[in-house]
Structure 1
Amino acid sequence: METVEALLRQQEVLRAVIESISSELNLRPLLTRIVRHACELIGADNGTIGLVDERRELVRTEAIWQMPESELGAEMPRGVGLAGKVFATGEPLVLGRYGELESTTQPSLSANAVIGIPIWWREKMIGFFGIGTDATRQSRQFDQRDVETLTLFARHAAIAIENARLYAASEHALEEMELLYATSTQIGTAHTTRELVAAYLNLVTRGGRFACTVTRYLRESTEVGTVEVLGRWTPQDGLDLTPHHYPYHRDALDEALDRGETLAIPDVHTDQRVPETLRRIQAESGRPALALIPLRVAGAERLGHVILSHSQIHDWTPVELHPFEITAQQLASALDSRLQQERVATQGQQMAIFEERQRIARDLHDSVTQLLFTMTLIAQTTAAAWKRNPDEGERRVGRLVELSQTALSEMRALLAELRPPVPQPTGRELLETKGLVAALEAHLAATSDESTPVVLKVQRYRPATFVVEHALYRIIQEAVANARKHAQARQVSVTLSTLSRGTTRLVIQDDGCGFDTRTPTAPRADGSGMGLSTMQERVVKLGGTLTIDSRLGAGTRITVRVA
């Protein structure tokens, strides 16, 4: 009768225990609860529960009940210790003394009676109970009824463990989605490679204990090149974006990395695949453990790596590597995009240099080249003119001297833009920093001529854009030069104003000899007619208008309007 009552009580306890473990979804607390209830079910004093690591073929202790803390994390391969014996046979094991085993993790408990029970799930052993009695408190031995009770309990424990694993997997999937979203958001707002690497490292290393480095290849060929460190984060120093460069030669690690595989290296000093250069770098940093995660874009060769390192020899786990592996693809795509953009920007800078050279060439053509052309025309006719009339020949020689001096002055002005004198800024620099009025005042002061003074008048002028002011500056230069050289003007006035609707108006007027506006303005032997077509082109590009009022003997008035 007492035996029946004891069985009934045990079944009632078993039901309560099953309800208890079924309500816990977090794996670690669940395992502790399972091992405690297992001891309570059969009146035992202490116990452990371990889970099977299929990859490494061993049982690792995950939770304990009234056992030394040193038992946590103990690993038992097949056939070693109580857990290893059960793992090897898949059958329960009962021992009168724990010390009967060939190897034990807790020699101080050798006198205890122990029972080992496998935990099965769908024809696969997933875990193990190790339950014992304290020999100093009781001399009880385990029997077949204890085996049956714990075997039944193990079936329900297996269900609870798998449910907790499913819950953990769903939580992990949610965390993974959140990480991917955060990564996409953070690196998506980065404009440069530097900002991108900083955003990535700040995100994935948050609260981390491993150093993380982002590198890229600067290849000279498929076999050699340079590895550039774009940024690194360490637990001690935080973020560092100082670039470093190391020589690269293809080695034994590359084949696996080319396939997109992560290389986890517990100790670079004992792994024969690690090249001497990399081994030396890790030795200098004091980080022997290394994990290389390739950065690859579909259809392209490796861009670089995400590199994890640890200050101790370390056996990398999939859980540790997973956050970096799932974000590596996003980083690779973003990095490739930023590098492409920077290459385009570099090409744009080269194009800007090309356009600046063309501008200089155009200015040379508009001024010095035209003067040289005019000088050539005069020189070609001077000898014949001298023979006919020495006075005419002398006049033409004088004209040649005048034109050569003007050409020299123009060339010096252009050279001043290319190589500005110190400390005087060039006209272009003054335009960029102080505007058109200041640039004109400086230019007119530098090119002043007592025989033809130039008066600058500024009437309610509001500064325009650099493009407009630069064009107006060039037009004034050309018009004043023409008035001095060809119109024989005694005075020139330059008036700048802004009209009521924001239109910029420029008026350049001289009292020179004037010319017939109905005749072509191509260069002639005496140099007249130069620059007008260039002025017209500059104004048309701005969407403005240029009008020229001139009559022979009555001077010239040039009016420019730009909205």
Structure 2
Amino acid sequence: MGLALRVQDRVLGELVLVHHTAGYFDEVEDHYIQIFSSLAAIALENARLYQSEQDRRQESERRQRVAEGLRDILKALNSNKPLEELLNFIVEQVHAMMGADLSIRYHENEDQPLSTAISKSFPGDLFEKFAAYTYSNPQSDIQIRLSRGEYLIDEDYAKEVEDLKKNEYDKKHPQVFEIMEMFAKYYRCGLVLPLLVRGKLFGSLRFFYREKLEFDQETIQLAMMIAEQAALAIENSTLRKEAQLAAVSNERNRLARELHDSVTQTLFSTSLIAEVLPRLYDVNKPEAEKRLNEMRHLAKGALAEMRTLLMELRPNAITEAKPKELLQHLMDAYTGRSGIPIQYTEKIDPHANLSGDQKLVIYRVAQEALNNIAKHATPTNVKIMFHVDINHVNLMIEDDGVGFDPEKIESNHFGIGFMRERADGIGAQIKILSQPDEGTLVHLIIW
């Protein structure tokens, strides 16, 4: 006999009961069979609800993994990680999010060969073949479509290899065909997306799947989002290198200007004195000795300026210097340039330990302050007080020059903005006090 399995007027299936004895079910009371069928229907419904809940939970967990993966990728993009490390991070995140093996083929410069980043699950022999092929033909159909921003779906690698062989692609392009054969060996299907940077193709991103997959719109949109993030990583790396080159060029120009403004002019003045000194010595010996002493000071100042410039050419020279050495070259250079000795006092705890960033800020603030004094202040006295202990640093640079009205000076004038920015960068405080005809005090405090 057969009974419909119903739950709330919905038919879930059919219960069929059989027995080898004819007429057996005529003697069984109907309500027993109805109870049994109801229990079976409830069991089926519970199983369906349980499976539905499991599917919903798995989908929720998948979406959560995707959201967390995208968040982690975005966080990594905002870091200063090297490009290779960043792309390797992206491929691993994608593998965890989407269950796909991922490869990123890229270059940072159109003249460079292609590099390859892969997930750890990528087959080693395939990676060797894939990575060895560092050329991409810009005239190929794939490259043209990728350059237009299109994505490509490889629904069946095995079938694609068969089609290529029929067209004798294996003879025309044996290296590429061998790679395609290895794709078919390990994977069922895949998805290829372009890496576009400022409208130019800088590589491609491939998703590889071992099982057949229907590439729905959600999967494709997620893949496109990841490709955009990988392209952004390449663009950020390119911009960072361009900025570094620009910074190097600017630094060279700055050093060249300082060399011209300080050392070159000092040496020129020294050479003029040296030319007249022999004749002056015969005519006016006291004046000649005075000029000789002046030339000695100029030469000493030029030497100090050169030492300062050489210190800046060595990246670690400032950050590795002892606290006592930080200001000495700057003071010698100022005195040699201006002829005004600096009244210097210091109190340095031998147990104090300054970080490289703190030393750099102390050096730059002192450098900027002394440059401002030399260019604008026309003082008769300059004082520097430098106190360093375990808990804090005090640097005070004072002159009795012309001063200025802080309310009438823009915040970035006289390098004030530069000094404040440097101090803010390490959580330090800088005070600049000045009045017309009353000199200027620059006070740096580091906790």
TM-score higher than 0.5 here? yes
Equivalent-residue separation in structure 2 for 1:297 and 1:170 (angstroms): 38
Higher helix share: 2
Deviation sequence 1:120-144 (CA, Å, 0-9, x none): xxxxxxxxxxxxxxxxxxxxxxxxx
1:506 aligned to 2:396? yes
Q: 1:374 to 1:176 in 2, by over 3 A?
A: farther
Choose the corresponding residue for 1:308, options 208, 214, 236.
208
- Equivalent of residue 542 in structure 1, options 412, 416, 419: 419
Alignment-derived partner of residue 153 in structure 1: none
Q: 1:418 to 1:216 in 2, by over 3 A?
A: same
Q: Distance in 2 between matches of 1:270 and 1:542?
A: 69
Structure 2 residue matching 1:317: 3-state secondary structure = coil
Q: Distance in 1 between matches of 2:122 and 2:440?
A: 71
Q: 2:252 aligns with which of 357, 369, 372?
A: 357
Q: Which residue of 2 aligns with 1:16?
A: 4
Cα distance in 2 for partners of 1:507, 1:406 equals 19
Letter in 2 for 1:270: E
The within-5 A match list for 1:79-94 is none
Query: Whole-Å Cα distance in 2 between the matches of residues 261 and 377 of structure 1?
Result: 75
Q: Describe the SS at the equivalent of 2:118.
A: strand
The answer on whether the counterparts of 1:378 and 1:400 sit within 8 Å (CA) in structure 2 is yes
CA–CA separation in structure 2 for the residues paired with 1:430 and 1:220: 35
One-letter code aligned to 1:430 = E
Task: Give the drift of 1:405.
Answer: 4.6
Does the CA contact (< 8 Å) of 2:152 and 2:193 recur in 1?
Answer: no
CA deviation after TM superposition for structure 1 residue 458, in Å: 1.5
Contact 2:365 2:419 in 1 (8 A): no
SS at match of 1:350: helix
Preserved contact between residue 496 and residue 505 of structure 1 (Cα < 8 Å): yes
Whether the aligned pair in 1 keeps the contact of 2:267 and 2:302 (CA below 8 Å) is yes
RMSD, aligned α-carbons: 6.0
Consecutive unaligned residues in structure 2, runs of 5 or more: 21-50, 78-85, 333-340, 404-412, 421-430
Quickly say closer, same or farther: Cα 1:279–1:412, change in 2 above 3 A: same
Question: CA 1:301–1:388 in 2, change beyond 3 Å: closer, same or farther?
Answer: closer
Match of 1:197 in 2: 91
Q: Does 1:281 align with 2:179?
A: yes
**Structure 1 pair 261–283 and aligned structure 2 pair: CA distance change class (3 A):** closer
Whichever residue aligns with residue 230 of structure 1, its letter is A
Counterpart CA distance in 2 for 1:176 and 1:363 is 64
Please list, as runs of the form range in 1=range in 2, the aligned pairs for 1:520-535 lying within 5 A after superposition. none
Judged with a 3 Å threshold, the aligned counterparts in structure 2 of structure 1 residues 355 and 518 are, in CA distance, closer, same or farther, namely closer
Change (3 A) 1:559 1:226: closer
Higher relative contact order structure (alpha carbons within 8 Å, sequence separation ≥ 6): 2
Question: Which residue matches 1:249?
Answer: 137
Provide Cα deviations, 1:239-285, integer angstroms capped at 9, x if missing partner.
x9xx9462212435456666433023433653417643233335678
Distance 2:342 2:394 in 1: 24
Unmatched 5+ residue regions in structure 1?
A: 1-11, 25-33, 44-167, 206-210, 311-315, 446-451, 510-515, 520-535, 551-556
* 1:329–1:170 CA distance, 2 compared to 1 (3 A): farther
Aligned length, in residue pairs = 354
1:414 aligned to 304, 309, 317, which one?
Answer: 309
Q: 1:263 aligns with which of 154, 166, 170?
A: 154
Map of 2:319 onto structure 1: 429
Deviation at 1:293, TM superposition (A): 1.0
Deviation at 1:394, TM superposition (A): 6.5
Whole-Å separation in 2 of the counterparts to 1:342 and 1:429:
26
Letter in 2 for 1:204: M
Determine helix, strand or coil for the equivalent of 1:295: strand
Deviates more, 1:387-396 or 1:400-409: 387-396
For the structure 1 residues 219 and 373, does the alpha-carbon distance in structure 2 shift closer, same or farther, using more than 3 Å as the test?
closer
- Structure showing greater Rg: 1
Aligned-partner Cα distance in 2 for 1:235–1:187: 21
Deviations 1:385-422 (A, max 9, x none): 749935345654664455235323422442243248xx
Q: Give the superposition deviation at 1:469.
A: 0.7
Structure 1 residue corresponding to 2:231, chosen from 336, 339, 348: 336
Contact kept, 8 Å, 1:495 with 1:507, in 2: the verdict is yes
Distance between the aligned counterparts of 1:389 and 1:333, measured in 2?
80
The percent of aligned pairs where both chains have the same amino acid is 16
